Structure 1
Amino acid sequence: MILVFGKTGQVAMELQRLLPEARFLGRDEADLTDPLACGRKIRDLKPAAVINAAAYTAVDKAEDDALVATLVNAAAPTEMAETCADLGIPFVHISTDYVFDGAGEEPFAPDHPTGPLGVYGETKLEGENGVREAGGVFAILRTSWVFSAHGGNFVKTMLRLAETRDKLTVVVDQIGGPTPARDIAKACVETAEQLKTDPNKAGTYHFSGSPDMSWADFAREIFAQAGSVVEVEDIPTSAYPTPAKRPANSRLDCSTTETTFGIRRPDWKAGLAEVLSELEIRP
Protein backbone atom coordinates (compact mmCIF):
# COMPACT_ATOMS: atom_id res chain seq x y z
CA MET A 1 0.00 0.00 0.00
CA ILE A 2 1.21 3.48 -0.91
CA LEU A 3 0.47 6.28 1.52
CA VAL A 4 -0.17 9.73 0.06
CA PHE A 5 -0.15 12.96 2.04
CA GLY A 6 -2.68 15.18 0.32
CA LYS A 7 -6.23 14.60 -0.85
CA THR A 8 -7.70 17.67 -2.53
CA GLY A 9 -4.67 19.18 -4.28
CA GLN A 10 -4.16 18.88 -8.02
CA VAL A 11 -1.59 16.07 -7.93
CA ALA A 12 -3.32 14.26 -5.06
CA MET A 13 -6.59 14.23 -7.01
CA GLU A 14 -4.83 12.64 -9.99
CA LEU A 15 -3.08 10.14 -7.73
CA GLN A 16 -6.49 9.01 -6.47
CA ARG A 17 -7.39 8.10 -10.04
CA LEU A 18 -4.16 6.17 -10.54
CA LEU A 19 -4.06 4.51 -7.12
CA PRO A 20 -7.59 3.76 -5.93
CA GLU A 21 -6.13 1.25 -3.49
CA ALA A 22 -3.74 3.75 -1.88
CA ARG A 23 -4.39 5.53 1.41
CA PHE A 24 -4.84 9.30 1.11
CA LEU A 25 -4.57 11.60 4.09
CA GLY A 26 -6.28 14.98 3.99
CA ARG A 27 -6.03 17.76 6.58
CA ASP A 28 -8.61 16.01 8.76
CA GLU A 29 -6.29 13.03 9.25
CA ALA A 30 -2.86 14.58 8.78
CA ASP A 31 -2.33 18.21 9.73
CA LEU A 32 1.02 19.19 8.23
CA THR A 33 1.36 21.97 10.79
CA ASP A 34 1.90 19.08 13.25
CA PRO A 35 4.90 17.30 11.70
CA LEU A 36 5.24 14.70 14.48
CA ALA A 37 1.67 13.57 13.84
CA CYS A 38 2.60 12.94 10.20
CA GLY A 39 5.43 10.70 11.30
CA ARG A 40 3.11 8.78 13.61
CA LYS A 41 0.68 8.19 10.75
CA ILE A 42 3.43 6.57 8.69
CA ARG A 43 4.44 4.32 11.58
CA ASP A 44 0.84 3.32 12.26
CA LEU A 45 -0.04 2.53 8.64
CA LYS A 46 3.30 0.90 7.65
CA PRO A 47 3.01 1.60 3.91
CA ALA A 48 5.28 0.24 1.18
CA ALA A 49 6.09 3.80 0.07
CA VAL A 50 5.09 7.39 0.85
CA ILE A 51 4.32 10.21 -1.59
CA ASN A 52 4.03 13.73 -0.26
CA ALA A 53 1.64 15.61 -2.55
CA ALA A 54 0.70 18.21 0.07
CA ALA A 55 2.23 21.67 0.38
CA TYR A 56 1.66 25.30 1.26
CA THR A 57 1.43 26.71 -2.27
CA ALA A 58 -0.01 30.21 -1.72
CA VAL A 59 3.13 31.96 -2.96
CA ASP A 60 2.09 35.53 -2.15
CA LYS A 61 0.37 34.71 1.15
CA ALA A 62 3.51 32.91 2.32
CA GLU A 63 5.34 36.23 2.52
CA ASP A 64 3.24 37.08 5.61
CA ASP A 65 2.68 33.53 6.80
CA ALA A 66 6.21 32.19 7.05
CA LEU A 67 5.65 30.14 10.19
CA VAL A 68 2.86 28.01 8.74
CA ALA A 69 4.62 27.74 5.37
CA THR A 70 7.76 26.50 7.14
CA LEU A 71 5.84 23.87 9.11
CA VAL A 72 4.04 22.55 6.04
CA ASN A 73 6.80 22.84 3.43
CA ALA A 74 9.88 22.14 5.56
CA ALA A 75 9.24 20.55 8.95
CA ALA A 76 6.51 18.13 7.85
CA PRO A 77 8.34 16.58 4.86
CA THR A 78 11.51 16.37 6.95
CA GLU A 79 9.63 14.37 9.58
CA MET A 80 8.07 12.19 6.88
CA ALA A 81 11.47 11.50 5.32
CA GLU A 82 13.08 10.71 8.68
CA THR A 83 10.28 8.28 9.53
CA CYS A 84 10.54 6.61 6.12
CA ALA A 85 14.29 6.31 6.58
CA ASP A 86 13.76 4.61 9.95
CA LEU A 87 11.29 2.17 8.41
CA GLY A 88 13.34 1.57 5.27
CA ILE A 89 10.65 2.65 2.79
CA PRO A 90 10.92 5.00 -0.23
CA PHE A 91 9.76 8.60 0.06
CA VAL A 92 8.77 10.72 -2.95
CA HIS A 93 8.48 14.46 -2.37
CA ILE A 94 7.21 17.07 -4.83
CA SER A 95 9.14 20.34 -4.94
CA THR A 96 9.30 23.38 -7.18
CA ASP A 97 11.23 25.56 -9.63
CA TYR A 98 10.92 28.34 -7.02
CA VAL A 99 14.03 27.02 -5.25
CA PHE A 100 16.03 28.74 -8.02
CA ASP A 101 16.62 32.45 -8.58
CA GLY A 102 15.33 32.41 -12.16
CA ALA A 103 18.47 33.96 -13.61
CA GLY A 104 19.66 33.34 -17.17
CA GLU A 105 17.95 31.48 -19.97
CA GLU A 106 19.36 27.96 -19.65
CA PRO A 107 17.34 25.16 -18.03
CA PHE A 108 18.30 24.54 -14.41
CA ALA A 109 19.92 21.15 -13.75
CA PRO A 110 19.06 19.38 -10.48
CA ASP A 111 22.52 20.16 -9.07
CA HIS A 112 22.47 23.86 -10.02
CA PRO A 113 22.99 26.19 -7.06
CA THR A 114 19.70 27.25 -5.50
CA GLY A 115 18.63 30.78 -4.62
CA PRO A 116 14.93 31.22 -3.82
CA LEU A 117 13.44 34.69 -4.19
CA GLY A 118 10.76 34.48 -1.50
CA VAL A 119 9.37 32.64 1.51
CA TYR A 120 7.61 29.94 -0.52
CA GLY A 121 10.81 28.96 -2.33
CA GLU A 122 12.85 29.22 0.87
CA THR A 123 10.55 26.87 2.77
CA LYS A 124 10.41 24.38 -0.09
CA LEU A 125 14.21 24.39 -0.25
CA GLU A 126 14.42 23.86 3.49
CA GLY A 127 12.11 20.89 3.06
CA GLU A 128 14.30 19.48 0.31
CA ASN A 129 17.37 19.74 2.53
CA GLY A 130 15.56 17.98 5.36
CA VAL A 131 14.55 15.14 3.06
CA ARG A 132 18.10 14.67 1.85
CA GLU A 133 19.59 14.82 5.33
CA ALA A 134 17.16 12.16 6.61
CA GLY A 135 19.41 9.57 5.03
CA GLY A 136 16.71 7.36 3.53
CA VAL A 137 15.71 6.30 0.02
CA PHE A 138 14.06 9.36 -1.50
CA ALA A 139 13.25 11.17 -4.70
CA ILE A 140 12.67 14.91 -4.77
CA LEU A 141 10.73 15.76 -7.91
CA ARG A 142 10.85 19.46 -8.78
CA THR A 143 8.14 20.61 -11.14
CA SER A 144 6.60 23.83 -12.44
CA TRP A 145 3.40 25.54 -13.59
CA VAL A 146 1.04 22.75 -12.53
CA PHE A 147 -2.42 22.62 -14.09
CA SER A 148 -5.42 20.27 -14.11
CA ALA A 149 -9.20 20.26 -14.10
CA HIS A 150 -9.11 20.51 -10.29
CA GLY A 151 -8.54 23.37 -7.87
CA GLY A 152 -7.10 26.72 -8.82
CA ASN A 153 -4.54 27.08 -11.59
CA PHE A 154 -3.62 29.25 -14.57
CA VAL A 155 -5.72 27.32 -17.08
CA LYS A 156 -8.90 27.62 -15.05
CA THR A 157 -8.21 31.28 -14.30
CA MET A 158 -7.80 32.09 -18.01
CA LEU A 159 -10.99 30.23 -18.88
CA ARG A 160 -12.91 32.10 -16.20
CA LEU A 161 -11.63 35.50 -17.33
CA ALA A 162 -12.43 34.65 -20.95
CA GLU A 163 -16.12 34.44 -20.02
CA THR A 164 -16.31 38.20 -19.48
CA ARG A 165 -13.35 39.69 -21.34
CA ASP A 166 -12.17 39.81 -24.93
CA LYS A 167 -8.66 41.07 -24.11
CA LEU A 168 -6.21 40.13 -21.36
CA THR A 169 -2.73 41.28 -20.41
CA VAL A 170 -0.37 38.41 -19.54
CA VAL A 171 3.27 38.34 -18.49
CA VAL A 172 5.64 37.46 -21.33
CA ASP A 173 9.08 37.55 -19.67
CA GLN A 174 8.63 34.54 -17.37
CA ILE A 175 9.43 31.27 -19.14
CA GLY A 176 8.75 27.75 -17.93
CA GLY A 177 7.24 24.36 -18.64
CA PRO A 178 3.51 24.00 -17.95
CA THR A 179 2.99 20.57 -16.37
CA PRO A 180 -0.21 18.51 -16.25
CA ALA A 181 -0.89 17.25 -12.72
CA ARG A 182 -1.86 13.88 -14.20
CA ASP A 183 1.66 13.43 -15.57
CA ILE A 184 3.23 14.46 -12.26
CA ALA A 185 1.11 11.84 -10.51
CA LYS A 186 2.25 9.17 -12.98
CA ALA A 187 5.88 10.21 -12.48
CA CYS A 188 5.54 10.01 -8.69
CA VAL A 189 4.12 6.49 -8.84
CA GLU A 190 6.74 5.26 -11.30
CA THR A 191 9.52 6.81 -9.24
CA ALA A 192 8.26 5.21 -6.03
CA GLU A 193 8.01 1.79 -7.66
CA GLN A 194 11.53 1.96 -9.06
CA LEU A 195 12.98 3.14 -5.75
CA LYS A 196 11.57 0.01 -4.11
CA THR A 197 13.73 -2.22 -6.31
CA ASP A 198 16.69 0.11 -6.88
CA PRO A 199 17.38 2.46 -3.95
CA ASN A 200 20.51 3.67 -5.72
CA LYS A 201 18.24 5.84 -7.88
CA ALA A 202 17.59 8.09 -4.89
CA GLY A 203 18.20 11.79 -5.52
CA THR A 204 16.84 15.08 -6.80
CA TYR A 205 15.14 15.20 -10.19
CA HIS A 206 13.26 17.61 -12.46
CA PHE A 207 9.98 17.02 -14.25
CA SER A 208 8.14 19.65 -16.30
CA GLY A 209 6.08 19.81 -19.46
CA SER A 210 7.47 20.49 -22.91
CA PRO A 211 7.93 22.84 -24.71
CA ASP A 212 8.95 25.73 -22.47
CA MET A 213 6.72 28.74 -22.94
CA SER A 214 5.89 32.20 -21.60
CA TRP A 215 2.72 32.71 -19.58
CA ALA A 216 1.40 34.84 -22.44
CA ASP A 217 1.92 32.10 -25.02
CA PHE A 218 0.50 29.55 -22.60
CA ALA A 219 -2.63 31.70 -22.42
CA ARG A 220 -2.83 31.89 -26.22
CA GLU A 221 -2.71 28.10 -26.47
CA ILE A 222 -5.45 27.77 -23.86
CA PHE A 223 -7.74 30.12 -25.78
CA ALA A 224 -6.89 28.49 -29.12
CA GLN A 225 -7.77 25.02 -27.86
CA ALA A 226 -10.87 26.27 -26.05
CA GLY A 227 -12.09 28.21 -29.07
CA SER A 228 -12.17 31.46 -27.10
CA VAL A 229 -11.72 34.69 -29.05
CA VAL A 230 -9.54 36.54 -26.56
CA GLU A 231 -6.67 38.85 -27.46
CA VAL A 232 -3.58 38.40 -25.30
CA GLU A 233 -1.39 41.48 -24.83
CA ASP A 234 2.19 40.83 -23.71
CA ILE A 235 3.34 42.72 -20.62
CA PRO A 236 6.57 42.62 -18.60
CA THR A 237 6.63 41.29 -15.05
CA SER A 238 7.24 44.86 -13.86
CA ALA A 239 3.73 45.78 -15.04
CA TYR A 240 2.17 43.10 -12.83
CA PRO A 241 3.67 43.50 -9.35
CA THR A 242 3.02 40.77 -6.76
CA PRO A 243 3.97 40.45 -3.05
CA ALA A 244 6.35 37.59 -3.88
CA LYS A 245 8.86 37.83 -6.69
CA ARG A 246 8.53 35.18 -9.41
CA PRO A 247 11.52 33.57 -11.16
CA ALA A 248 11.89 34.82 -14.73
CA ASN A 249 13.47 31.55 -15.82
CA SER A 250 11.64 28.43 -14.69
CA ARG A 251 13.10 26.13 -17.33
CA LEU A 252 14.07 22.76 -15.84
CA ASP A 253 16.60 20.30 -17.26
CA CYS A 254 14.73 16.98 -16.98
CA SER A 255 17.32 14.78 -18.72
CA THR A 256 18.38 12.80 -15.64
CA THR A 257 14.76 11.91 -14.92
CA GLU A 258 14.55 10.28 -18.34
CA THR A 259 17.92 8.51 -18.17
CA THR A 260 17.38 7.24 -14.62
CA PHE A 261 13.67 6.39 -14.56
CA GLY A 262 12.73 6.34 -18.25
CA ILE A 263 10.23 9.16 -17.62
CA ARG A 264 10.10 11.68 -20.47
CA ARG A 265 8.86 15.24 -20.34
CA PRO A 266 5.13 15.26 -21.11
CA ASP A 267 3.58 17.17 -24.00
CA TRP A 268 1.64 19.78 -22.06
CA LYS A 269 -0.43 20.78 -25.09
CA ALA A 270 -1.83 17.25 -25.21
CA GLY A 271 -2.36 17.44 -21.46
CA LEU A 272 -4.20 20.73 -21.90
CA ALA A 273 -6.52 19.10 -24.43
CA GLU A 274 -7.33 16.38 -21.88
CA VAL A 275 -8.06 18.96 -19.18
CA LEU A 276 -10.34 20.97 -21.48
CA SER A 277 -12.16 17.77 -22.42
CA GLU A 278 -12.64 16.93 -18.75
CA LEU A 279 -14.02 20.43 -18.18
CA GLU A 280 -16.32 19.83 -21.18
CA ILE A 281 -14.94 22.81 -23.05
CA ARG A 282 -15.02 22.46 -26.83
CA PRO A 283 -13.86 24.87 -29.53
Structure 2
Amino acid sequence: MKIKKILEVKNLKQYFKLDKNTVIKAVNDISFDIYKGEIFGLVGESGSGKSTTGRSIINIYQPTGGEVYYRGKQISDPKIFRAERKFINRNMQIIFQDSTSSLNSRMTIKEIIEEPLRIQKVYKNKDARFNKVVELMNLVGLDKMYLDYHPYECSGGQRQRAGIARALSVDPEFLIADEPIASLDVSIQAQMINLFKKLQRENGLTCLFISHDLAMVRYVCDRVGVMYQGKIVELAETKELYRNPIHPYTQALFSSILVPNPNCAEERTRIAYHPVSDIFSEEKSQLSEVSEGHFVCCSTLSF
Protein backbone atom coordinates (compact mmCIF):
# COMPACT_ATOMS: atom_id res chain seq x y z
CA MET A 1 0.00 0.00 0.00
CA LYS A 2 1.35 3.39 -1.01
CA ILE A 3 1.96 5.79 1.88
CA LYS A 4 0.33 9.18 1.42
CA LYS A 5 2.38 12.37 1.44
CA ILE A 6 1.09 14.92 3.91
CA LEU A 7 3.71 17.62 3.38
CA GLU A 8 5.99 18.45 0.44
CA VAL A 9 8.73 21.05 0.79
CA LYS A 10 10.33 22.03 -2.52
CA ASN A 11 13.39 24.29 -2.76
CA LEU A 12 12.36 26.26 0.33
CA LYS A 13 14.30 29.47 0.92
CA GLN A 14 14.05 31.92 3.78
CA TYR A 15 16.34 34.93 3.59
CA PHE A 16 16.48 37.85 6.01
CA LYS A 17 17.87 41.17 4.82
CA LEU A 18 19.76 42.96 7.58
CA ASP A 19 20.82 45.90 5.44
CA LYS A 20 21.45 46.64 1.76
CA ASN A 21 24.69 44.66 1.81
CA THR A 22 23.89 41.81 4.20
CA VAL A 23 21.47 38.93 3.65
CA ILE A 24 21.16 36.00 6.05
CA LYS A 25 20.29 32.76 4.23
CA ALA A 26 18.60 31.06 7.18
CA VAL A 27 17.07 28.35 4.98
CA ASN A 28 18.85 27.89 1.68
CA ASP A 29 17.06 25.75 -0.92
CA ILE A 30 15.95 22.64 0.98
CA SER A 31 13.53 19.91 -0.12
CA PHE A 32 11.94 16.99 1.73
CA ASP A 33 8.64 15.13 2.11
CA ILE A 34 6.76 13.97 5.20
CA TYR A 35 4.38 11.02 4.97
CA LYS A 36 1.17 10.32 6.89
CA GLY A 37 1.78 8.87 10.34
CA GLU A 38 5.50 9.69 10.24
CA ILE A 39 7.58 11.58 12.79
CA PHE A 40 10.29 13.37 10.80
CA GLY A 41 13.19 14.81 12.76
CA LEU A 42 15.30 17.87 12.03
CA VAL A 43 18.58 18.15 13.94
CA GLY A 44 21.55 20.47 13.82
CA GLU A 45 23.38 23.07 15.85
CA SER A 46 21.82 26.37 16.96
CA GLY A 47 21.43 28.72 13.99
CA SER A 48 21.30 25.93 11.40
CA GLY A 49 17.79 26.92 10.28
CA LYS A 50 15.63 24.25 11.96
CA SER A 51 13.15 26.56 13.68
CA THR A 52 13.01 28.89 10.69
CA THR A 53 12.10 25.91 8.51
CA GLY A 54 9.18 25.04 10.79
CA ARG A 55 7.95 28.64 10.93
CA SER A 56 8.22 28.99 7.14
CA ILE A 57 6.22 25.80 6.58
CA ILE A 58 3.32 27.07 8.66
CA ASN A 59 3.60 30.57 7.15
CA ILE A 60 4.63 32.48 10.26
CA TYR A 61 7.44 33.59 7.96
CA GLN A 62 6.42 34.07 4.34
CA PRO A 63 9.02 32.03 2.37
CA THR A 64 11.47 33.97 0.22
CA GLY A 65 11.31 31.21 -2.40
CA GLY A 66 10.25 27.65 -3.00
CA GLU A 67 6.95 25.89 -2.40
CA VAL A 68 5.24 24.14 0.50
CA TYR A 69 2.34 21.76 -0.18
CA TYR A 70 -0.01 20.40 2.48
CA ARG A 71 -2.34 17.69 1.18
CA GLY A 72 -1.59 18.89 -2.34
CA LYS A 73 -2.46 22.53 -1.61
CA GLN A 74 0.30 25.10 -2.05
CA ILE A 75 0.01 26.78 1.34
CA SER A 76 3.15 28.87 0.71
CA ASP A 77 1.10 30.92 -1.77
CA PRO A 78 -0.36 33.85 0.24
CA LYS A 79 -3.67 33.80 -1.64
CA ILE A 80 -4.19 30.06 -1.11
CA PHE A 81 -3.10 30.34 2.53
CA ARG A 82 -5.64 33.10 3.23
CA ALA A 83 -8.41 31.16 1.49
CA GLU A 84 -7.58 27.93 3.38
CA ARG A 85 -6.53 29.51 6.67
CA LYS A 86 -9.24 27.91 8.83
CA PHE A 87 -8.62 24.47 7.30
CA ILE A 88 -4.85 24.86 7.77
CA ASN A 89 -5.15 26.06 11.38
CA ARG A 90 -7.52 23.19 12.16
CA ASN A 91 -5.17 20.55 10.79
CA MET A 92 -1.70 22.05 11.34
CA GLN A 93 -0.44 23.22 14.74
CA ILE A 94 2.92 24.26 16.15
CA ILE A 95 4.53 23.88 19.56
CA PHE A 96 6.86 26.85 19.97
CA GLN A 97 10.31 26.59 21.47
CA ASP A 98 9.89 29.67 23.68
CA SER A 99 6.89 29.05 25.92
CA THR A 100 7.21 32.49 27.56
CA SER A 101 6.67 34.59 24.44
CA SER A 102 4.22 32.19 22.77
CA LEU A 103 1.61 32.35 25.56
CA ASN A 104 -0.52 35.44 26.18
CA SER A 105 0.34 36.60 29.71
CA ARG A 106 -3.08 38.23 30.08
CA MET A 107 -4.91 34.93 29.63
CA THR A 108 -5.23 32.08 32.11
CA ILE A 109 -4.01 28.58 31.27
CA LYS A 110 -7.65 27.52 30.83
CA GLU A 111 -8.30 30.35 28.34
CA ILE A 112 -5.09 29.60 26.42
CA ILE A 113 -5.93 25.92 25.92
CA GLU A 114 -9.60 26.64 25.26
CA GLU A 115 -9.06 29.37 22.65
CA PRO A 116 -8.48 27.06 19.62
CA LEU A 117 -11.57 25.04 20.57
CA ARG A 118 -13.65 28.22 20.69
CA ILE A 119 -12.29 29.65 17.42
CA GLN A 120 -12.69 26.38 15.53
CA LYS A 121 -16.10 25.75 17.17
CA VAL A 122 -15.13 22.18 17.97
CA TYR A 123 -17.53 22.05 20.93
CA LYS A 124 -20.87 23.82 21.10
CA ASN A 125 -21.03 24.65 24.82
CA LYS A 126 -18.74 25.82 27.61
CA ASP A 127 -19.07 22.66 29.69
CA ALA A 128 -17.84 20.44 26.82
CA ARG A 129 -14.92 22.80 26.19
CA PHE A 130 -14.05 22.88 29.89
CA ASN A 131 -14.06 19.07 30.11
CA LYS A 132 -11.75 18.93 27.06
CA VAL A 133 -9.37 21.44 28.65
CA VAL A 134 -9.15 19.36 31.84
CA GLU A 135 -8.60 16.22 29.76
CA LEU A 136 -5.76 17.88 27.86
CA MET A 137 -4.14 19.12 31.06
CA ASN A 138 -4.22 15.59 32.46
CA LEU A 139 -2.77 14.33 29.19
CA VAL A 140 0.31 16.57 29.47
CA GLY A 141 0.71 16.12 33.23
CA LEU A 142 -0.56 19.55 34.30
CA ASP A 143 -2.72 19.61 37.44
CA LYS A 144 -6.10 21.28 37.08
CA MET A 145 -5.17 23.61 39.96
CA TYR A 146 -3.35 25.62 37.28
CA LEU A 147 -6.56 26.35 35.35
CA ASP A 148 -6.78 29.92 36.64
CA TYR A 149 -3.04 30.58 36.71
CA HIS A 150 -1.43 33.00 34.28
CA PRO A 151 1.73 31.99 32.38
CA TYR A 152 3.96 34.22 34.52
CA GLU A 153 2.78 32.31 37.61
CA CYS A 154 3.98 29.01 36.15
CA SER A 155 7.43 27.48 35.74
CA GLY A 156 9.01 27.09 32.30
CA GLY A 157 8.09 23.40 32.20
CA GLN A 158 4.47 24.11 33.16
CA ARG A 159 4.21 26.78 30.45
CA GLN A 160 5.63 24.38 27.90
CA ARG A 161 3.09 21.72 28.85
CA ALA A 162 0.31 24.31 28.44
CA GLY A 163 1.69 25.08 24.97
CA ILE A 164 1.67 21.38 24.06
CA ALA A 165 -1.91 21.03 25.34
CA ARG A 166 -2.98 24.05 23.26
CA ALA A 167 -1.40 22.59 20.11
CA LEU A 168 -3.11 19.23 20.67
CA SER A 169 -6.50 20.72 21.57
CA VAL A 170 -8.02 20.52 18.07
CA ASP A 171 -6.55 17.05 17.33
CA PRO A 172 -4.34 18.27 14.45
CA GLU A 173 -3.29 15.92 11.69
CA PHE A 174 0.14 17.55 11.34
CA LEU A 175 2.19 18.94 14.21
CA ILE A 176 5.37 21.01 14.13
CA ALA A 177 7.15 20.45 17.45
CA ASP A 178 9.99 22.95 17.89
CA GLU A 179 12.14 21.78 20.81
CA PRO A 180 8.96 20.61 22.60
CA ILE A 181 10.69 18.95 25.55
CA ALA A 182 13.80 21.11 26.03
CA SER A 183 12.48 22.93 29.12
CA LEU A 184 10.89 19.88 30.75
CA ASP A 185 12.16 17.69 33.57
CA VAL A 186 13.49 14.29 32.50
CA SER A 187 10.44 12.41 33.83
CA ILE A 188 8.05 14.76 32.02
CA GLN A 189 10.18 14.51 28.84
CA ALA A 190 9.60 10.76 28.80
CA GLN A 191 5.88 11.30 29.37
CA MET A 192 5.64 13.75 26.44
CA ILE A 193 7.62 11.53 24.08
CA ASN A 194 5.44 8.56 24.95
CA LEU A 195 2.41 10.79 24.31
CA PHE A 196 3.70 11.66 20.81
CA LYS A 197 4.32 7.99 20.06
CA LYS A 198 0.86 7.06 21.34
CA LEU A 199 -0.81 9.74 19.18
CA GLN A 200 1.21 8.53 16.20
CA ARG A 201 0.20 4.92 16.80
CA GLU A 202 -3.48 5.46 17.64
CA ASN A 203 -4.42 8.66 15.78
CA GLY A 204 -1.98 8.63 12.87
CA LEU A 205 -0.34 11.87 14.03
CA THR A 206 2.22 13.24 11.58
CA CYS A 207 4.96 15.38 13.10
CA LEU A 208 7.97 17.51 12.21
CA PHE A 209 10.12 17.07 15.33
CA ILE A 210 12.82 19.74 15.72
CA SER A 211 15.37 19.07 18.45
CA HIS A 212 18.93 19.32 19.71
CA ASP A 213 18.53 16.11 21.70
CA LEU A 214 20.10 13.55 19.37
CA ALA A 215 19.41 10.62 21.71
CA MET A 216 15.71 11.52 21.93
CA VAL A 217 15.46 12.00 18.16
CA ARG A 218 16.91 8.53 17.70
CA TYR A 219 14.11 7.10 19.85
CA VAL A 220 11.12 9.05 18.56
CA CYS A 221 11.72 9.74 14.84
CA ASP A 222 11.20 7.51 11.79
CA ARG A 223 13.45 9.57 9.49
CA VAL A 224 15.92 12.35 10.26
CA GLY A 225 17.31 15.29 8.31
CA VAL A 226 20.55 16.93 9.44
CA MET A 227 20.78 20.70 8.88
CA TYR A 228 23.91 22.83 8.64
CA GLN A 229 23.97 26.52 7.70
CA GLY A 230 20.52 26.48 6.15
CA LYS A 231 20.93 23.26 4.15
CA ILE A 232 20.00 19.63 4.72
CA VAL A 233 23.34 17.84 4.47
CA GLU A 234 22.06 14.31 5.12
CA LEU A 235 18.68 12.59 5.27
CA ALA A 236 17.83 8.94 5.94
CA GLU A 237 15.79 6.55 8.03
CA THR A 238 16.80 6.93 11.66
CA LYS A 239 18.44 3.53 12.10
CA GLU A 240 20.40 3.90 8.87
CA LEU A 241 21.54 7.44 9.66
CA TYR A 242 22.79 6.64 13.16
CA ARG A 243 24.41 3.40 11.97
CA ASN A 244 26.09 4.89 8.93
CA PRO A 245 26.51 8.69 8.99
CA ILE A 246 28.33 9.73 5.79
CA HIS A 247 28.58 13.50 5.70
CA PRO A 248 31.51 14.84 7.81
CA TYR A 249 29.20 17.22 9.65
CA THR A 250 26.81 14.41 10.60
CA GLN A 251 29.74 12.35 11.87
CA ALA A 252 30.98 15.28 13.96
CA LEU A 253 27.50 15.99 15.31
CA PHE A 254 26.85 12.38 16.33
CA SER A 255 30.24 12.13 18.01
CA SER A 256 29.02 14.75 20.50
CA ILE A 257 26.15 12.58 21.82
CA LEU A 258 26.51 12.19 25.56
CA VAL A 259 27.03 8.64 26.81
CA PRO A 260 25.69 7.94 30.34
CA ASN A 261 28.69 5.77 31.14
CA PRO A 262 31.92 7.40 32.42
CA ASN A 263 34.13 4.62 31.02
CA CYS A 264 32.64 4.85 27.51
CA ALA A 265 32.67 8.65 27.65
CA GLU A 266 36.41 8.66 28.30
CA GLU A 267 37.10 6.27 25.43
CA ARG A 268 34.94 7.89 22.74
CA THR A 269 36.53 10.02 20.05
CA ARG A 270 35.16 13.49 19.38
CA ILE A 271 35.26 14.52 15.71
CA ALA A 272 35.83 18.15 14.78
CA TYR A 273 34.09 19.38 11.66
CA HIS A 274 36.03 21.58 9.26
CA PRO A 275 34.16 22.60 6.09
CA VAL A 276 36.01 21.08 3.16
CA SER A 277 36.35 22.01 -0.50
CA ASP A 278 36.09 18.51 -1.98
CA ILE A 279 32.93 16.51 -2.75
CA PHE A 280 31.19 17.92 0.33
CA SER A 281 31.76 21.54 -0.67
CA GLU A 282 28.75 23.63 0.37
CA GLU A 283 28.75 25.69 -2.85
CA LYS A 284 28.96 22.78 -5.30
CA SER A 285 26.98 20.12 -3.48
CA GLN A 286 23.38 18.95 -3.78
CA LEU A 287 21.36 16.27 -2.02
CA SER A 288 21.96 12.95 -3.80
CA GLU A 289 20.72 9.43 -3.03
CA VAL A 290 23.74 7.28 -2.16
CA SER A 291 21.68 4.23 -1.19
CA GLU A 292 17.96 3.51 -0.98
CA GLY A 293 16.38 6.31 1.07
CA HIS A 294 19.76 7.69 2.19
CA PHE A 295 20.56 11.16 0.84
CA VAL A 296 23.83 13.06 1.29
CA CYS A 297 24.73 16.59 0.25
CA CYS A 298 27.73 16.17 -2.06
CA SER A 299 29.02 17.18 -5.48
CA THR A 300 29.65 13.65 -6.75
CA LEU A 301 28.74 10.09 -5.87
CA SER A 302 32.27 8.73 -6.32
CA PHE A 303 33.09 8.09 -2.68
Q: TM-score range by the shorter chain?
A: 0.3 to 0.5
Higher helix share goes to which structure? 1
TM-score for both structures, normalised by structure 2: 0.32
